Amino acid sequence: MTERQFGKGTVIFHEGDVGETFFRVISGKVGIFSAYETDGEYLIKELNPDDYFGEMAVIEAYPRSATAVALSDVKVEEATTSEMGVFFKENPEKVLQITGYIGKCIRDTTEEYIEVAGTIQKLGEGEKKDSLMDKLRKFAGVYSARSKEMNKLSTEGAKRFSKAKSDSVESYSKETIIFKQGEFAECMYEVQGGSVGIYSDYGKSNEKLLSTVEAGEYFGEMGLIDNKPRSATAVIMADNTILETIKKKDLLNLFKENPPQAEAIVAHLSAKLRQVTKKYLESCHLLYDIYNGSVNDSEIAKKASEYVTYHGVV
């Protein structure tokens, strides 16, 4: 990685740029803005030393979704796409920092989404708008500021890097429970064949299938990143479903010995962050329309049924 310095107010990269490098803040503060220097300018987040930024554009080969600006004199480390594999192999501990940072963003954005979904559900159940006006105003403002960003977010999974295989592979029969909602487990899984269902309230009268994970996709990734309980239950949906288990204690060695797998995991997390951010902004869009009176009560009730307090974080 190369050290670079930027003076206060300098744009490090612009929204829409093709991203070929990512950064770590060594000193100073960096602001991530949507619609920078326009009437709709919005500070998405402020970054401090040891925070990373620009990684999603490199990992997934998408244009920059926001503008990065030095809020003070800043020193950063910069790495290019071509250095990614070498960087992962030589700095596995920093890869863990990146996965942890992206995971925190996923968790934080999901919690914001849950708040939005809860607001929509209350409106759908007939709670008065005036009692929820502060939340309506808040999330309508988020959508107003970040609407352009939403259009640039892909919901497709990352397919950029090839994935190498490990020896931690096992075949499972249909209806096997891999983990339960509320459990703690420091591992994630890659589906190498078959499919897995992700359920809320599995086995109860209000059981709901939230998503299906197919071959080549990951699930349970938050078990590697934080110590919070599983937010859903994972159940095998087809006989002879093959899973690779990736444990937290083995992650550092995996990144040292198998950079392609490290790249695939980070790419998956980056894609997951894009997915939940897009869902969050779409729900803010609905509240923006409600706030501005362009959605009637019957439409609110219908749309509310589409929202659940979960979006892919297990």
Q: What is the pLDDT of residue 57?
A: 66
Q: What is the pLDDT of residue 85?
A: 66
Q: What is the pLDDT of residue 153?
A: 63
Q: Kindly list the strands in the beta sheet with 52-53, ordered across the sheet, starting from the edge strand earlier in the chain.
A: 2-6, 74-80, 21-27, 52-53
Q: What is the pLDDT of residue 160?
A: 41
Q: What are the tens digits of pLDDT across the range 190-225?
A: 899 999 999 988 999 988 888 899 998 888 887 777
pTM of the predicted model as reported, rounded to 2 decimal places: 0.68
Q: What is the pLDDT of residue 19?
A: 76
Report, as ranges of residue numbers, the positions in the chain whose pLDDT lies below 70. Answer: 56-62, 81-82, 84-85, 88, 149, 151-167, 227, 259, 307-314
